[in-house]
Amino acid sequence: MLPGDHQHPTRLGRRAALRLILSTAGISVLAACTPAPGPSAPTPAPPTPVTGQSTPAAATAGGQPTPAAAAKPKRGGTLRIGVAGDVARLDGQLYSSINTTWMSFDRLTAYDAQLKPQPMLAESWELSTDAKRLKLNLRKGVQFHTGREFTSEDVKFNVLWVRDPKVAAGALVQQSKWFTDVETPDKYTAILVSDQPRPAAFDFFEFFDIVDSATVQGPERDQKLVGTGPFVQTEWVQGDHLTFQRFANYWQPSLPYLDGVHVNILKNPQSLVAQLEAGALDIADMPSLIDFARLRTDTNYTALTVPSSTNVFGSNVTRPPTDNKQVRQALNYAMDRKRMVEIAFRGQGEPLTLPWQPTSLAYDASKQNAYPYDLDKARSLLSQAGASNLELDITLNTATAEWNEAAQIYQSTLNTLGIKANIKQYDTAAYLDQINNHKYTGIYVGSIAYASVEPVTIIGNSRHLDPTGNSNTGYTSEQYLKLWSTASTEPDAGKRKAIYAQINDLLIDESCVMPICSAPARMLTSGGVHDIGLTQHGAFVYNSTWLA
C-alpha cells in the first residue's frame, strides 16, 4: 500500500511504492456461494486475467492457471524474487514491507474477477435471512505447517486475536469487531455473529490470513511465519533475504509446483531491475515506473499489472486557502490528469475523478469526467471565491518518484493561474506526521488502497476518505458519516448502490480528495516464469507458478 493509506498509524509502512498483500492460497475446485440459507453449490469460478504486455498467464481468484495455459506445468526449481524495502517483524496479519511473507498463509475465502467470494479454507457458507449470522463450513484435513489440524477453533482464535491493535493492521482490527461472537458447534463449523448485517464481511476475509495460534503466542511470533499455505518459511535474514520451501502436506496435493522461493531484500527499486537484467532474479516485484516502462515491451520479459490503488491529491480543509470549497473545486479543474498519467505515471493507470474501479458498486461512468481539465472554469471559481495571490504547498513522500513528477506538472499549471505552489518533500515518517496531523498547508499526494473491494471498506479503511473526522484532509460531515454508516450495514446491493451515488455527489462537490489515476501493482518477470496468479486485492500469487 502507498503512503497515506498503507501507512495507517497501526500499520508498518512498506515502500514508497505499492505495498502488496500477497496471499498465496489456491483452490482446486471453486464454488459459487449465495447469501441465502443452505449450502453453496460447487461451480467452476471464472478465470481472472493478469494484464501484461507479453502473453500473460490467466488465473482464478486462488491463483490456479486456466485451461488456456500454453504449456503443461513443470515441477521443481526455486523462484528468485526481488523486493525493495525491509520488514521489522514477521506477522501473517500485519501488512508488511515484504509482500512475499504472505505465501505461508491461506484465507477463508477469495474473490474472483467479479468480486464474488470463492471457497478456500471455508468450503461453503450459509447466511441467515437477517444477514447477521454467517455459517462457515470448513475444509476437512487441512494442516498447519506444524502438522496440527486446522479447525473452527482456529477461526475463532484468529478473529479475536487480530482485533488487538498491537497485533494487526487497523483495517482488520475494526472489521474483526463487527462480530460479537464466533460460535464453534463442531470442529468444522464456525458461525460469525453480528448485531447488524455486514455486507463487506468477505472484504475482511480477502485480507484475513489464518495464522497458527501456537506460533503467534510463542517465542518465535515475530520470527516465524506458520500457516496452512503452500510455502513454509525456512529462513529469514533481516534486510537480506527470506526463503520458503514447498509444503509437502498442502491440502491441494498437486500444488505448489515450485520446490521453493528465495526472496532477495534490496534497498531500492532500481536494484531490482539491474539484477533481473543480469539474470540474478526471476521476478522484480514493484520495479520503478521508469524501468517498468522501459522493459514492458521487451520480449525477454513479461510485464504484469493488477488493479490495486488510486493516486490522489488531498486538500487540508482545516487551513486556508483550501478550507474554501470553491478553491478546492478550482484546484480540481486545474488538474491535467491525462498529462500526469502519460508523463509522471508512464502510461500506467487510467485518469479518475472518483476513486472506484469499473468493477465497483460505486462506479459511475457518467461522473468519471466530472472535473475535466478546464483552466477557465478554475479561474472563474477562484474569482467567485475572492481568492487572489494564493500560495500553497504540495506535500509528498520522497520515496515515490512519480509523485514528484506529478507534483511538478501540477505546480506548473497552478502557476499559470497565479497560484504559487511550493513542492515540499519529506521522508516517510515526516510525511505521515504532516498529513496525519494536518500540519501541511494546501495539498498532498497520496494513494488509496483496497481498490477492488466494497466501497464502504475502502472509505472506512482509508486515511484519505475516513468519514469519522480522522482523515488526512480533516473533512467530515454528518451527511457523509451517515451515508457511510448506512451503506456499511445495508445488505441489499441495489440500495447500497443508491447510497454510493449520494456519496459520489458529495465527494465531487467537496473536492477534498481529488483522484488522479488508478495505480495498478506491477511486476517484471523473466521469460522462464509461467502462470503467476493474482488476487482481487492487488496481489500476485505463486502457488501455481512454474519455471521452464
Predicted local distance difference test score (pLDDT) of residue 45: 35
Residues 6+ away with beta carbon under 8 Å from 445:
311, 312, 313, 314, 394, 395, 396, 397, 400, 403, 406, 407
- What is the domain-level CATH number for residue 400? 3.10.105.10
Angle, vertex CA 332, rays to CA 330 and CA 336, nearest 5: 115
Predicted local distance difference test score (pLDDT) of residue 27: 30
Predicted local distance difference test score (pLDDT) of residue 169: 66
Predicted local distance difference test score (pLDDT) of residue 399: 79
**Quick one: 494 exposed, middle or buried, by C-beta within 10 A (0-12, 13-18, 19+)?**
exposed
Predicted local distance difference test score (pLDDT) of residue 170: 66
Residues 386-413: tens digit of each pLDDT: 999 999 999 999 878 899 999 999 999 9
Task: Please report whether residue 197 resides in a domain.
Answer: no
Measure the CA–CA gap between 102 and 24, rounded to whole angstroms.
Answer: 7
CA 42 to chain centre: 28
Place of cell 531491475: 273
- Domain that includes residue 500, residue range: 307-520
Number of domains observed in the structure of the chain = 1
Which of 464, 97, 142 has the alpha carbon at shortest distance from 311? 464
Predicted local distance difference test score (pLDDT) of residue 400: 87
Residues 271-303: tens digit of each pLDDT: 999 999 999 999 999 999 999 999 999 999 999
Which of 221, 247, 240 has the alpha carbon at shortest distance from 104? 247
Amino acid at 533: G
173 to 11, 194, 199, 428: CA distances (angstroms):
11, 15, 17, 23
The DSSP bridge partners found for residue 118 are 110
Amino acid at 296: R
Task: Please report whether residue 344 resides in a domain.
Answer: yes
Which of 106, 447, 99, 101 has the alpha carbon at shortest distance from 284? 99
Task: Please report whether residue 236 resides in a domain.
Answer: no
Give one word for 426, left, alpha or beta, with left for phi > 0 and alpha for psi -120 to 50: beta
Predicted local distance difference test score (pLDDT) of residue 98: 58
For residues 400 and 345, the answer to whether their CB atoms sit within 8 Å is: no
**Quick one: 417 exposed, middle or buried, by C-beta within 10 A (0-12, 13-18, 19+)?**
middle
The set of cell numbers assigned to 226 is 506458520
Task: Please report whether residue 420 resides in a domain.
Answer: yes
The DSSP bridge partners found for residue 233 are 244
Measure the CA–CA gap between 185 and 196, rounded to whole angstroms.
Answer: 22
The DSSP bridge partners found for residue 341 are none
Task: Please report whether residue 280 resides in a domain.
Answer: no
Task: Please report whether residue 179 resides in a domain.
Answer: no
For residues 184 and 152, the answer to whether their CB atoms sit within 8 Å is: yes
Measure the CA–CA gap between 457 and 484, rounded to whole angstroms.
Answer: 10
Predicted local distance difference test score (pLDDT) of residue 465: 94
Residues 437-461: tens digit of each pLDDT: 999 999 999 999 887 889 999 998 8
**DSSP of 171-240:** HHHHHHTTEEEEEEEETTEEEEEESS--TTHHHHHHH-B---HHHHTSTTTTT---SSSSEEEEEEETTT
Would the CA dihedral through 511, 516, 518, 520 be positive or negative?
Answer: negative
Measure the CA–CA gap between 465 and 355, rounded to whole angstroms.
Answer: 10
Give me the helices (H) in 94-197, please: 152-161, 170-176
Task: Please report whether residue 258 resides in a domain.
Answer: no
Task: Please report whether residue 476 resides in a domain.
Answer: yes
The torsion angles phi and psi of 535, rounded to 5 degrees, stand at -120, 170
Predicted local distance difference test score (pLDDT) of residue 459: 92
Residues in the chain predicted with pLDDT less than 70, given as ranges, are 1-70, 95-99, 168-170
Q: Quick one: three-class SS letters along 472-501?
A: CCCCCCHHHHHHHHHHHCCCCHHHHHHHHH
